[in-house]
Amino acid sequence: MLPELIDADLKPIPFSAIDHWLADDLQGAFLSFLKTAKAEMAQTPHLRPTRWQDARLVPLFAKALEYASKKADPRAFFETYFEPYKVEPHKGRGFLTGYYEPEISGSLEKTAEFSIPVLARPIDLVTFPQDEPSPLEPYSAARRTKDGFEPFFDRAAIWDGALDGQGLELLYLPDKVELFFAHIQGSARVRLPDGKICRLTYAGRNGHPYTTIAKVIVAEGHMALSDVHLESLKAWLRANPVHAERLMRLNQSYIFFSRSDDLPETEGPIGAASTSLDAGRSVAVDRRQWSYGLPFFISAELPDGHGQTVPFSRLMIAQDTGSAILGAARADLFMGSGEAAGRQAGLIRHPGDFIVLLPRS
């Protein structure tokens, strides 16, 4: 049984036809798959459920645990239990972006330096199931009231104080730009004044449409598309505060977080599949079309963060999603945590080729 893709077809190919398949050390991919397997076997709820979850993966999660206990060859695992299919978009090629876990200075207390609150999930926020029609189109979430569902407050209303007085403040950041990009990345490490790290994990969104403000900045003539990347966007927004406030409010989507204080600093952030992400092995996919845990072999020419473009051919595991990740051949590559990872992730806006490994029937 093949997934019913919206905007692409699947073409079966042999492993021998996958360029650079033998060159990739699959141990990292197997360890990432194993994380998902453990979470799925423990029936850990997904932070952002997929529309469907391939039931054929379940026995393979158990097989992965067996392989790990025997320290067996990970390549044999993938070649034995999966079949490769090339993802062929109906238009053009696949498209890749990158994301990361930012590290931001912050405070548990509101101060003159740290005054922008990071908010926890409100108790009246209801997220509609991904696999069912929304009762309040086009919103994917809503406020539960005594009279039924109402659209939740958008970013502008929240920034204007719509949720004040509910005690939702988890901690405080230095400015709205840092908060905005923490929302885009879906996670953050916050370094407190005493040096300790507080981890922020995605806990929900307000259900409003996501708007990519970079497109608006380019359309309005403020920046050329070739100049747009994470660092340049942050710099431009800080240098143009009036425009920045207006443009950030255009993105009505707003993210709520929880604190994951027990997550080791050596671990990546928690993705939508409720497992920690691995740099260069975890990928965010369209949750309308793909199941978490599926392996994807992704090939592209990508920037290395030092001004060079290098070949990228690697098996990655679907462990996350995002509001802007729409399309069967659309993926966001998790590049790691901190400034260097952010620099590299912010440069990735490149075509790529996708091969999905589906469970053998």
- Evaluate whether 253 touches 193 at the Cβ level (below 8 Å): no
- For the entire predicted model, the pTM comes to 0.91
Tens digit of each residue's pLDDT, the chain (361 residues) = 789 999 999 999 999 999 999 999 999 999 999 999 999 999 999 999 998 889 999 999 999 999 999 888 999 999 999 999 999 999 999 999 999 999 999 999 999 999 999 999 999 999 998 878 889 999 999 999 999 999 999 999 999 999 999 999 999 999 999 999 999 999 999 999 999 999 999 999 999 999 999 999 999 999 999 899 888 999 999 999 999 999 999 999 999 999 998 889 899 999 999 999 999 999 999 999 999 999 999 999 999 877 789 999 999 999 999 989 999 999 999 999 999 999 999 999 999 999 999 999 8
Torsion angle defined by CA atoms of residues 320, 178, 170 and 211, in that order, rounded to the nearest 10 degrees:
-50
Write down all domains in the chain, each with its CATH number in brackets.
Answer: 8-99+268-359 (2.40.40.10), 102-259 (2.40.240.50)
Tell the residue number behind the tokens 């073409």, with chain if given: 11
Q: Report the distance separating Cα 98 and Cα 314, nearest Å.
A: 14
Q: How many CB atoms lie within 10 A of CB 84?
A: 22
